[in-house]
A and B are shown apart, each in its own frame.
Chain A
Amino acid sequence: MLSQESLALIDRELAKYPADQRRSAIMGALRIAQTEKRYLTNELIEFVASYVRIPPVAAYEVATFYNMYDRKPVGKYKLTVCTNLPCALSGGYTTADYLKQKLGIGFGETTADGRFTLAEGECMGACGYAPVMLVNNHSMCNHMTPDAIDKKLAELE
């Protein structure tokens, strides 16, 4: 279900923990699976669980708890805007509204061309650079004023 490269990465996660605590690797393993497949289906969650050798429901708990795991298809670029208090005070909602208007979608939605998904995020520990936005869970963008957004979106075209 996953490529050899992904499985090798999961093996590396597993190696970080004692042999009787394989379940500790589940967060990393789900992240690796999601990076390859873009989002986590129930079948994929079950596969990862059996690879890590934990009950599927234990992996499902993790996959449904953290909102960086996607369980529905997302666009090519998933843009997560932080709306927690420090960001909100520094224009987080302006950023979000600008994105909504520009992309024509709301939180949790994907553009018709499948390029962009907009998501609402929790504090990313980068409040000093508020308002912040995360692209595809991995790349952090600071000070996302409307101008900065225009620039970023152009880059992503």
Chain B
Amino acid sequence: MLEIEIDGKKLTVPSGSTVMDAANSIGVHIPHFCYHKKLSIAANCRMCLVQVEKAPKPLPACATPVTDGMKVFTHSDQAVTAQKGVMEFLLINHPLDCPICDQGGECQLQDLAVGYGQSGSRYQEEKRVVANKDLGPLISTDMTRCIHCSRCVRFTEEIAGYQELGMANRGEFTEVLPFIGKTVNSEISGNVIDLCPVGALTSKPFRYSARTWELSRRKSVSPHDGLGSNLVVQVKNHKVMRVLPLENEAINECWLADRDRFSYEALNSEERITKPMIKQGGVWQEADWQTALEFVANGLKGVIAEHGRESVAAVATPHSTVEELFLLRKLMSGLGVNAVETRLRAADFALKTAGATWLGQSIAELAASDAVVVIGSTLRKEQPLLAQRLRQSVKKGLKLAAINPHGDDLLTAKAAELVVRPDQLVEGVLQVLKAVAEAKGIALPANVDFGSIDIPAEARAVAAVLDGKEKTAILLGNIAQQHPRYGEIYAAATAIAEATGAKLGVLGEAANTVGAQLVGAETGGDVFAKPRQAYFMLNAEAEFDVQNGAQALAAVKQAKLVVALSSFSSCALEHADVILPVSPFSETSGTFVNMEGRAQSFNGVVRPLGETRPAWKVLRVLGNLLGFAGFDYASSEEIRDEALAGDIAPRLSNALAAPVAVKAQSASGLVRLGEVSIYQADIYSRRAPSLQKTADAANATLLKANAATLAKLGLAAGELARVEQAGGTAELQVALDAGLLDDVIRVSANHPLTRALAAHVGAIAVAKA
């Protein structure tokens, strides 16, 4: 510990602290631009100059280490003169176009200029002008405003993992730019908008739509991935105008993924439904709520009377809130219907665990691990900020390994990697299990039939990553959870965890995957395999939210009654008989339980659009209409308190409730690797126009295979290929993916172009179109 005195206040700080850290710890503000607590120190803006006793000239607080007995003056004459001098230099080339700048009102340069700037400039010469750059559909540039703090450059390199921006030229000619012809394509790129202390980088979708001081700020929780990022939703005239991060070190730190940040565009989309609708004689008619609700109640009763309770199934996406899912479950049990399912993207429903499957630890604990093995996950696209967090941990020594059906770059060092065919994911995990058992000299688990599995060097390397470390974890991603042999993958991963002492974790696919399990909304299994007479669908689009979309669509089409509770109209809803417009997350209160088992409640940030109603209220009224007891909730909080009564922690468990027989199999022939792409994953991101213009969205339209497979199929990159699976076809442009094994055809799933296809992993035929 070192002693330091700042502006007369004495304090002690750990050695290695900078003057900036020390000042921050006692709430003394030192003006700065380039300094950011999550980025490396660049010390290039010089705004943070302070006076240090015995130093001959002012020193930059952000880059000056504290020495014992140091005396610092942040507001002395010398310090303020230096700070004012720097401000004068910064403003020399700044356009001062604050009246037309989106950053106005939340600009660090504007704020500090009030404190340190002069009322006029001594600079009479010509100011420089810098050409704007095309950074893609999300980030707008006004590069003349740039003060070259390099925060954006450091962000892409250090946090996003790949330097997409650079500082070209020198001196007066310095410019921030991407490489010629490239855009910024990171899945967390929007953070540079927050980082830019001036208006050089601003939000493209938000551009010129409001002044920041007209916006009210309301807290919310991101409805996308399992992380549950905290949001500040900014609202004007009952309309969501933009979304910013709410800092929460335990979850999203100060970041947001682009999906969290830009999906709000969907909330104001043309596709919003604002009135209940009933289909009569094949034609949609607007209806009032009473009529529509009675139609639903009578329809459900009618189907049950005629075909029995087994003929009805309720489905909802795991992006629905705890309250909605709890009431859905309760409504269905009132009707005697048991089938309520949220695992819509699953293919294997047999797995039984002792509690709700979860991360197995907190996000912060995971980040402090010594080694992590990821199984079946395109981590950066599934959980962008978790990937970011692990990237930072790798810098501190974490060893990251993967067992995956692809070799995607995690933009950080992989200590080991085993790439398998998608239909051999179980066998890949078994290879590692066998390697672990051999290395430890322990017996192979009895419930596993290893067949003739031998251990490739890569599997040994993955096993070695877990060896001899204290805190280790094994994570199951979306590809694993949506795999036709998920139970076997899970059991094999459990065996590795037991043998190595690693914690097994499941990366919740959606915002409320854990919450859905806690309220028991997963009793249906594959409710579309055997078509039902009636489907009750909560914010679920058959073709886009169900793994075998084609099959689900067929089941829905033949059903007598399809009730859709939805925020958006969609092609999938054309087959419904009645649509009840329900609120998106921004217009209802609710709770999501994130992957670490943390329940986060939020309020509606704007009032429901048109006649839209929160789904929990709709379900409550339906319960009352059907005459069920226990539907008299006054608020969503009451529902939550009942749904999540008691502690959540004891109800989380990844322990297997029943042993699973695991049997190694062999596979050959062309096989599909289907994944739901990042901006198709939920009802919001699908409808966010800006996200649909990103490189990731374009990437999802491609068919990918390695060079050998393309050659074998007579295909070349850029050509059009026709794929066929279970009678469904799609035409896609071909691209090379060197990270795939032979015979693997990577085609995104639940995508407008591929919705006619069937299971994510399965045989597929490919030919030139």
Contacts and interface: CB of A to CB of B under 8 A. Distances in A.
Contacts of A65: 168-170
Contacts of A15: none
B163 A57 contact: yes
B182 interface: yes
B170 A64 contact: yes
Contacts of A64: 168-170
Contact of B180 (A54, A55, A58, A60): A60
Contacts of B157: 55
A60 B178 CA distance: 9
Contact of B168 (A46, A54, A61): A61
B179 A57 contact: yes
B152 to A, nearest CB: 12
Tell me the dominant secondary structure on chain B's binding face: loop
A46 B157 CA distance: 17
B166 interface: yes
A61 B170 CA distance: 9
Given A55-B163, A58-B163, A42 B168 contact: no
A106 interface: no
B162 interface: yes
Nearest to B177: A57
Contact of B164 (A42, A54, A57, A61): A57
A18 to B, nearest CB: 14
A56 interface: yes
B398 to A, nearest CB: 16
Contacts of A57: 163-166, 168, 177-179, 182
B42 to A, nearest CB: 14
Nearest to A58: B163
Contact of B167 (A54, A55, A56, A61): A61
Interface string B467-484: 000000000000000000
Contacts of A46: 179
Range, interface on chain A: 10 to 19
A55 B179 contact: yes
Tell me the dominant secondary structure on chain A's binding face: helix
A42 B163 contact: no
Interface in B390-431: none
Interface string B165-205: 11111100000011111100000000000000000000000
A57 B163 CA distance: 7
Contacts of B162: 55
A143 B271 CA distance: 77
A60 B179 contact: yes
Interface in B690-749: none
A42 B180 contact: yes
Nearest to B163: A55
A46 B179 CA distance: 9
A11 B162 CA distance: 23
B134 to A, nearest CB: 14
Contacts of A58: 163, 166
A119 to B, nearest CB: 15
Interface string A89-113: 0000000000000000000000000
A56 B170 contact: no
A30 B169 CA distance: 16
Contacts of B169: 64-65
A131 B721 CA distance: 66
Nearest to A66: B170
A64 B164 CA distance: 16
Nearest to A67: B170
A42 B167 CA distance: 15
A22 to B, nearest CB: 13
A52 to B, nearest CB: 13
A86 B94 CA distance: 34
A56 B179 contact: yes
Interface centre among B157, B166, B169, B178 (most CB of A within 10 A): B166
Interface centre among A42, A54, A65 (most CB of B within 10 A): A65
Interface in B471-504: none
A57 B181 CA distance: 11
A42 B168 CA distance: 13
B616 to A, nearest CB: 48
A20 to B, nearest CB: 8
A153 to B, nearest CB: 30
A58 B157 CA distance: 10
Interface string B199-240: 000000000000000000000000000000000000000000
B159 to A, nearest CB: 14
A58 B158 CA distance: 13
Contacts of B170: 64-65
B180 A61 contact: no
Nearest to A43: B180
A143 to B, nearest CB: 29
Interface string B421-445: 0000000000000000000000000
Nearest to B165: A57
Contacts of B181: 42
A5 B181 CA distance: 30
B168 A56 contact: no
A55 B164 contact: yes
Nearest to A54: B163
A61 B163 CA distance: 11
A56 B156 CA distance: 13
8 contacts: A42-B180, A55-B163, A55-B164, A57-B163, A57-B182, A60-B168, A64-B168, A64-B170
Given A46-B179, A57-B178, 5 more contacts: A42-B181, A55-B163, A57-B182, A60-B168, A65-B168
Q: Sorted from nearest, which 9 A-B pairs have the closest CB atoms?
A: A57-B166, A56-B179, A57-B179, A55-B163, A61-B166, A64-B168, A64-B169, A42-B180, A65-B170
